[in-house]
Amino acid sequence: MLLSRLAHVSQAVAATSARSRKIALLAELFRDADADDVPIVIPYLAGRLPRGRLGIGWKLLGRPVTPASEPSLTVREVDARLTAVGAVTGTGSQAERGRLMGELMAAATDAEQAFLRGLLTGEVRQGALDAVAVEGLAEATGAPPADVRRAVMLAGSLRTVARALLAQGPTALDDFRLTVGRPVLPMLAHTAGSVAEAVDKLGACAVEEKLDGIRVQLHRADDDVRIYTRTLDDITDRLPELTTAALELKGDRFILDGEVIALDGDGRPRSFQEIAGRVGSRVDVATAAAAVPVSPVFFDALSVDGRDLLDLPFTERHAELARLVPEPMRVRRALVSGPDGGAASEKFLADTLARGHEGVVVKALDAPYSAGRRGASWLKVKPVHTLDLVVLAAEWGHGRRTGKLSNLHLGARTADGSFAMLGKTFKGMTDAMLTWQTERLTELAIEENGYVVTVRPELVVEIAYDGLQKSTRYPAGVTLRFARVVRYREDKTPAEADTVETLLAAHPEVTR
DNA sequence: TTCCGACAGTGGGGTCGCAAT
DNA sequence: ATTGCGACCCCACTATCGGAA
């Protein structure tokens, strides 16, 4: 199959907003793909490269290359050439990778170049990623969409399922079962405004502490232990503590879901930054482990003794977990229901925060494990802080925000009356807000360089955020975590904006 | 040779708009 | 009305490479 066909379909998919039409377009293409094309075509059309590290980003894509006038590249040739790019390492590799990329781009037409560029920078923007590709695959093969989705969750890979499905037809789906040693996409949570709201929605539920660390899925088959991240990366070698912990459990075949955190001498959780740094260290693991030893804390069991627990209610899965994993290695929880459930869960949240954790996750006791989905039966609740900050600048948006000033640079007042930048945000803006702020900020502009519009610091905006973290990037030495716009405060002047001083005082643990 | 900046690729994430149910 | 998905981009961190010191 020619790459131009992919590029063309991708454009057509991007041009329609109807989900059903996107699915039909993808299905048509999948039907036409050769067996050998399938493992390439499917992920490409889902907006992802089938292999891992390429070492090519916006920089090494380099300057525009004169496009070919006629399409000639096949998807298999593209895949082979990209694989070759990824294989180049060592001294001089950046230049060589850039050169190979340039050659590939020169062989591509204008439309193909645009598609490749999007693929490599992760900006396909066709409004169809994995989930829509799954529907398309179902339509192309006549398999029930729910079964395809489930197979993808269990295989942890769209590509694998696609290949089997197109080669053998719908019966191939029966082979995808939960298997110890093969990771499944983890279940995710929605956000609720308060524990009362969450408990009210879910009925009988467990309120569990939410730990601010790295999500892990632990597999043990006899002496073989594997650890996977949320995106199914194998990080077994980076966390030897977890292998040790897994081998000490009274069972030899299981899959557990949990979080990795690090505790200080007093048993209080260390910062997310420290944990993420530890888990990200893969070259000198011993040194990293000595500096930040981590411990696993589990909250769910997906498989025990070869029994698939995914479809069992949480109550039963947790009973299995409790049988296998001793108390300190499980998250703390409280069972609540009925009219006084609200009060009990509020107290649990307060206690959890007092112990230094992030918040709670409220989980329905009767719900199955919805692998790979943001299930409605898990609701996280975290305290939200707000600040009144001043807009210092804004960046031009992309995609559906093209032509709108989008990403705001946020500043807090300092002692000398100037403003210190604390971070940026593009979240929380409605379309109306985007239009309004583009107009207003253009009026306040004092400088523009094509990307950033610097403005007179006159506009006050209320910002919600989850907490402070240390920063080497910003002058105050801190930045906001998950900042988002709540509303503009036209009733406030910049002189009434919050100060760096009060912000630091509100989060003493960060600078201590 | 060593150091440092830039880039790539991980991890963590909230909210909006639209289509479909 | 509600749900699911994709788009919008943020932060920090580590690893790697290339060029400056």
CATH number, domain with residue A261: 3.30.470.30
Last residue of a domain, one of A324, A355, A381: A381
User: What is the number of alpha carbons within 13 Å of residue A462 lying toward its C-beta?
Assistant: 10
From residue A101, alpha-carbon distances to A107, A186, A370, A456 in Å are 10, 35, 40, 42
Strands A467-470 and A478-481: antiparallel
Domain annotation covers residue A246: yes
Domain annotation covers residue A491: yes
Query: How many CB atoms sit inside 10 A of residue A323's CB?
Result: 11
Residue-level pLDDT at A381 = 94
Distance A25 CA to B13 C1' (A): 32
Structure tokens at A330: 């499980």
Structure tokens at A353: 């925060």
Q: How many helices (H) and strands (E) does chain A have?
A: 19, 19
Domain annotation covers residue A68: yes
Instruction: Return the closest nucleotide (C1') to the Cα of A292.
Output: C13
| Residue A391, domain extent | 385-511
* Pair A221, A89 in one domain: no
What would you measure as the largest C-alpha separation in chain A, in angstroms? 71
Residue-level pLDDT at A370 = 87
Residue-level pLDDT at A61 = 83
Chain C nucleotides close to protein (CB under 7 A) are 3-18
- Closest protein residue to B13 (Cα–C1'): A482
Provide the number of structural domains found in chain A: 3
Distance A105 CA to C8 C1' (A): 27
Last residue of a domain, one of A346, A366, A381: A381
Give the strands of the sheet with A253-261, arranged side by side.
Answer: A224-228, A214-221, A253-261, A295-304, A307-308
* Pair A351, A310 in one domain: yes
Domain annotation covers residue A178: no
* Pair A390, A457 in one domain: yes
Distance A139 CA to C12 C1' (A): 41
Domain annotation covers residue A175: no
* Pair A331, A461 in one domain: no
* Pair A7, A152 in one domain: yes
The protein residues having a beta carbon less than 7 Å from any atom of strand B are A 17-21, 52-61, 191, 214-215, 229-231, 233, 272, 276, 279-280, 380, 382, 384, 426-432, 464, 466, 482, 484
Chain B nucleotides close to protein (CB under 7 A) are 6-20
* Pair A270, A393 in one domain: no
Question: What pTM, to 2 d.p., does this model score?
Answer: 0.94
Q: State the alpha helices, DSSP H only, in A285-371.
A: 285-291, 314-324, 341-354
* Pair A40, A76 in one domain: yes
A112 neighbors A119 (Cβ within 8 angstroms): no
* Pair A22, A100 in one domain: yes
Bridge partner list, A219: A226, A255
Domain annotation covers residue A179: no
Structure tokens at A111: 């439309």
Closest CA to A459 of A395, A402, A410: A410
Distance CA A424, CA A170 (A): 47
Last residue of a domain, one of A109, A133, A168: A168
* Pair A14, A127 in one domain: yes
Q: State the alpha helices, DSSP H only, in A46-108.
A: 58-61, 75-87, 93-106
**What DSSP line would sit under A351-404, residue for residue?**
HHHHTT--EEEEEETT----TTSEEEEEEEE---EEEEEEEEEEEEB-GGGBTS
**Contacts of A388 by beta carbon, 8 Å cutoff, 6+ apart:** A460, A461, A462, A463, A489, A492, A496, A497, A498
* Pair A365, A391 in one domain: no
Distance A289 CA to C1 C1' (A): 50
- Return per-residue pLDDT of chain A as tens, 512 residues: 999 999 999 999 999 999 999 999 999 999 999 888 988 998 898 888 876 678 888 888 878 889 999 999 999 999 999 999 988 888 888 899 999 999 999 999 999 999 998 888 888 788 888 889 999 999 999 999 999 999 999 998 888 899 999 889 999 999 999 999 999 999 999 999 999 889 988 889 999 999 999 999 999 999 999 999 999 999 999 999 999 999 999 999 999 999 999 999 888 999 999 999 999 999 999 999 999 999 999 999 999 999 999 999 999 999 999 999 999 999 999 999 876 777 889 999 999 999 999 999 999 999 999 888 777 899 999 999 999 999 999 999 988 899 999 999 999 999 999 999 999 999 999 999 999 999 999 999 999 988 899 999 999 999 999 999 999 999 999 999 999 999 999 999 999 999 999 999 999 888 77
User: What is the number of alpha carbons within 13 Å of residue A345 lying toward its C-beta?
Assistant: 31
Instruction: Return the closest nucleotide (C1') to the Cα of A54.
Output: B8
Residue-level pLDDT at A51 = 62
CATH of the domain at A125: 1.10.3260.10
Active site residues of A: 210
User: What is the number of alpha carbons within 13 Å of residue A366 lying toward its C-beta?
Assistant: 4
Distance A65 CA to C20 C1' (A): 30
- Closest protein residue to C16 (Cα–C1'): A90
* Pair A353, A440 in one domain: no
Query: How many CB atoms sit inside 10 A of residue A407's CB?
Result: 18
CATH of the domain at A424: 2.40.50.140
A379 neighbors A361 (Cβ within 8 angstroms): yes
* Pair A423, A281 in one domain: no
Residue-level pLDDT at A276 = 94
